[in-house]
A = this chain, B = another copy of it.
Amino acid sequence: MNKVYKNASTAITGINDGAVIMLGGFGLCGIPENCIAALVSSGVKELTCISNNAGVDNFGIGLMLKQKQVKKMISSYVGENAEFERQLLSGELEVELIPQGTLATRCMAAGYGMPAIFTPAGVGTEVAEGKEIRVFNGKEYLLEYAFDADYAIVKAWKGDTDGNLIYKDTARNFNPLMAMAGKVTIAEVEELVPAGELDPNQIHTPGIYVHRIFKGEHYEKRIEQRTVKKVLSTL
C-alpha cells in the first residue's frame, strides 16, 4: 500500500467543507506550511481547526482565516492576529479556548484509544463550567474528552515511505500527538527517505499512525519573536 503522495494538493484530497482538522505546530514553529497553502488554494470552508495557535495575519492558519475558511478554532492561545480578532468580534468566527496541556492530552488520548482523561487544569475557573469534576487523593480534576478529528495534518523533519516520522527540536510540539489522533493523518516532511533509512530507535511517530506522506517544499519557517543576544545580553 502506497502512502506517498506527490504534493500537498493531492495529499489533502477528501478534506471537504465542514471537516474537523488538526494542525500541528506551536506558534509558527513546526506548522504544516505546504498543506496550509494547499487548503487555502482548495477553497475548502466551514472548517473546524484544532491547533494550539491560529497563526499570524499573513502566515500559518492566518492565511486560512483571511479567506474565511475557518468556522471554529479550538486553541489555547490566539493572539497576534488582527483579522482573527476582527472575525471573532464580528461573530463570523467561533473560538473555543482550552488549556494547552489539556489540548495536548486530548490529542494523545485519541491516539491512545482513551476516551477521556482527568486533568486539574481549569478547576475553579470558567473552563470547568459544565464539566464533570472528580476528586482523586483530595485533589479536583476535570474529565476531558479525547478529540475526534477527521484529519490530522502534521509537519515532521524526516519521514520515510512507510510513514515513520522524526521531528526536530521544538518543532515537535503538538505534531506527534495530532499525528496519532487523526482518522486520516497527513504528514509533510522536509526530507523523505525510503523505508529502512531511519533508525527504528529514533522514530517519534510510528508509520501505523500516518496514512499519507509527502515531501514539502519551500519552507519559509517564519520566526515570530526573533530574539538574539545583542538584544538582551545575559539570557
Interface residues of A (CB under 8 A from B): 105, 112-120, 136-137, 139, 141, 145, 166-169, 172, 200-202
| A139 / chain B contacts, CB cutoff of 8 Å | 115
Bound Cα distance A114, B109 (Å) = 12
- Determine if A114 and B115 form an interchain contact, defined as CB atoms under 8 angstroms apart: no
Chain multiplicity (copies): 2
Select A118's contact among B114, B136, B141, B166, beta carbons within 8 Å: B114
**Which of B105, B136, B168 touches A116 (beta carbons < 8 Å)?**
B136
What would be 17 A-B contacts, judged by CB atoms less than 8 Å apart? A105-B112, A105-B114, A113-B120, A114-B117, A115-B118, A115-B137, A115-B139, A115-B141, A116-B118, A116-B136, A117-B117, A136-B145, A166-B201, A169-B200, A169-B201, A201-B202, A202-B202
**Chain B residues positioned under 8 Å from A117 (CB to CB):** 114, 117
Query: What are the nearest 4 A-B pairs in CB distance?
Result: A115-B136, A202-B202, A115-B118, A114-B118
Using Cβ atoms and an 8 Å threshold, which residues of chain B touch A116?
A: 118, 136
User: Which B-chain residue is minimally distant from A135 (CB atoms)?
Assistant: B115
Q: How far is the CA of A120 from the CA of B113 in the complex (A)?
A: 9
Q: How far is the CA of A113 from the CA of B168 in the complex (A)?
A: 26
How many angstroms from the CA of A120 to the CA of B116 in the assembled complex? 12
Complex Cα–Cα for A115 and B105 (A): 13
Measured between beta carbons, the chain B residues less than 8 angstroms from A200 are 169
Write the nearest CB–CB distance from A88 to chain B, whole angstroms: 31
Q: A166 to B117: give the CA distance in the assembly, Å.
A: 28
For the complex, what is the distance from the CA of A113 to the CA of B136, rounded to whole Å?
11
Minimum distance in angstroms from A185 CB to a CB of chain B: 20
Instruction: Please report the C-alpha to C-alpha distance between residue A201 and residue B199 in the assembled complex, in whole angstroms.
Output: 13
